[in-house]
Amino acid sequence: MKPQETFSNLTIANSAQQMKSSEQFWKHFSTSIWEKETLAIKNSFINPPITADELFSIVVNDFNIDDKYLVSKRFYLQGKEQQLEDSDYYPKPEDRSFVSYDRRIKSVCDNQEYVLIIDGLLVNSPLWDWTYEFLQNLYNSLGYLNCDHYYSIFYGNYSKTPFGVHDHNYPGEPAQSAFYFPIQGSKSMRTWKPEFVNRNKKLKGSTQYEEFIEDSTLLEAESGGIIYWPSDRWHIGDSKGGDVSLVIAINNSNNFVEPIAYLLREEINKISGNSLKKYFLEKIGEFIVNSSKRKGKKRAIFDPNNMQKSAEIIPDVIQLDGKIFKYFLGSSIVELACTKLWLSMLTGFGFQLLIPNQFLEADSNKLMIDDYIKVSNNRQILWKKVGKDKIAIAVNGIATVVPLYRNVEMLIKTINSGAVQSVKKILEDSKSLVNQDDLREYSAEGILALLNTLLGNGGVKIVK
């Protein structure tokens, strides 16, 4: 049994101090740990991003209960997956906490072992602020971006992961590494290198791994600590009951065919509705299958010191993956999809499970002419022109496309300055600063709608 006690030449005891110098820690992580070694820091490393009760309130909010596409939910009883639809296994608002949920499930299931797994948790604003900063530190140190990262939760009284020792290198699926953050209690993971598992194939999918413990690495952490393992590691977790943790699953693929296809489906539905939907979905599906095996070495490079300049140049690897769709779709719609993907990646650092209005405190929280606004902390709104008459604007990983109104670029620059802005003055200035050589239209209603979109996407806040 080999608990991890050091990483490179920095001891775990010292690593907590390194977090106080974030740039130094992440530089070391990106060069010596990322996709090379596992990492376990027991505690005193981070401020936990959320409490157990706050996390439970997210699990049972309307976004996560109602969503049937982005949020994946599974429930295992005695190691066997159960039907969640129309069952009492999923947490309910009236449970009020993980502790009460655990008590109810034990009663319903006669104290059998269970585990609830949620993939793609839709976060709230405070948790996203923490996640944004974490991913920003990671990718600023790497200098390139991936996409489709998401949060997972494993909760229950299970002794071991019900599907046994596993990795995340499934055929046709992207390889995933993971960051594990214990919120309440402690967490331990056991990992094996792929070459060892390939020599000992009976370890795959097994929950009986005692004879292979000496060849594993034990990773342990508690609240305030962190666990990381690269995408090639086979692993299995345990639970002591009552433990609450969050996992960020990191997609390490530089293959962007599938996210481009997802955005193309959205655009096709807007343009053509259901009339061409089936045909194009089938065609796009074929391209995903045929292209998902590509393992190019190019990366989606960006400059963390000049995000707007990065926004204006779509990386070659994304353009290359988009090119295959131009054989049966117009180049303009493919350009739009690639632009939206790249702006989403730049403003969300690869975290793709964000949806419009997720950050609004209430549906009625809309901008009025007498309101004052300010760009959200540590955010920058990015944009890129698309064709002659559209502009894509993104923040928090959410891209929207609007008409290329006169002075809309100047509007975004003004908001990005960080100063408090009067909505009334924004509208007046947008009209008065008209360049006579600019033939684009002006629309006060359109500008106000854009500001409300930025509010709903968490890019600006109302200043009281």
pLDDT of residue 293: 54
Taking residue 171's Cβ as centre, other Cβ atoms within 10 Å add up to 6
pLDDT of residue 7: 41
How far is residue 147 from each of residues 259, 345, 350, measured CA to CA in Å?
8, 6, 4
pLDDT of residue 393: 98
Query: Distance (Å, rounded) from C-alpha 302 to C-alpha 314?
Result: 9
Q: Is 118 helix (H, G, I), strand (E, B) or coil?
A: strand
CB 100 within 8 A of CB 91: no
What's the distance, Cα to Cα, between the start and end of the chain in Å?
57
Q: pLDDT tens per residue, the chain (464 residues)? A: 444 443 433 444 444 444 445 888 999 999 999 999 999 999 988 888 999 999 999 999 999 999 888 899 999 999 999 999 889 999 999 999 999 999 999 999 999 999 999 999 999 999 999 999 999 999 999 999 999 999 999 999 998 999 999 998 765 567 899 999 999 999 999 999 999 999 999 999 999 999 999 999 999 999 999 999 999 999 999 877 789 999 999 999 888 988 998 898 888 877 766 666 656 666 666 666 555 555 556 899 999 999 999 999 999 999 999 988 887 788 999 999 999 999 999 999 999 878 877 777 655 578 989 999 999 999 999 999 998 899 999 999 999 999 998 889 999 999 999 999 999 999 888 776 555 555 566 778 889 999 999 999 999 999 98
Which pTM value belongs to this model? 0.91
Closest of 452, 309, 461 to residue 377, by C-alpha: 461
Tokens representing residue 136 in the block:
């920003």
Query: Distance (Å, rounded) from C-alpha 213 to C-alpha 206?
Result: 13
E strands, 300-428, are 300-301, 372-375, 382-386, 390-395, 398-403, 421-422
Which value, in Å, is the radius of gyration of the alpha carbons in the chain? 24
For 404, list phi and psi in degrees, rounded to 5. Answer: -80, 70
Q: What string of DSSP letters covers 264-298?
A: HHHHHHHHHTTTTHHHHHHHHHHHHHHHTT-----
pLDDT of residue 428: 86
Q: Which domains, from first to last, does the chain contain?
A: 2-251 (2.60.120.650), 257-348 (no CATH), 372-463 (3.90.930)
Instruction: Say what the alpha-carbon torsion angle 197, 203, 205, 206 is, to the nearest 10 degrees.
Output: -160
pLDDT of residue 282: 62
Query: Distance (Å, rounded) from C-alpha 34 to C-alpha 42?
Result: 18
pLDDT of residue 406: 81
Half-sphere exposure (Cβ direction) of 348: Cα atoms closer than 13 Å? 29
Tokens representing residue 197 in the block:
């598992």
pLDDT of residue 352: 85
Q: Is 180 helix (H, G, I), strand (E, B) or coil?
A: strand
pLDDT of residue 274: 61
pLDDT of residue 280: 66
How far is residue 228 from each of residues 162, 179, 221, 265, 375, measured CA to CA in Å?
21, 5, 10, 34, 33
For 434, list phi and psi in degrees, rounded to 5. Answer: -70, 130
Closest of 319, 288, 461, 449 to residue 384, by C-alpha: 319
Half-sphere exposure (Cβ direction) of 434: Cα atoms closer than 13 Å? 13
Query: Distance (Å, rounded) from C-alpha 255 to C-alpha 135?
Result: 19
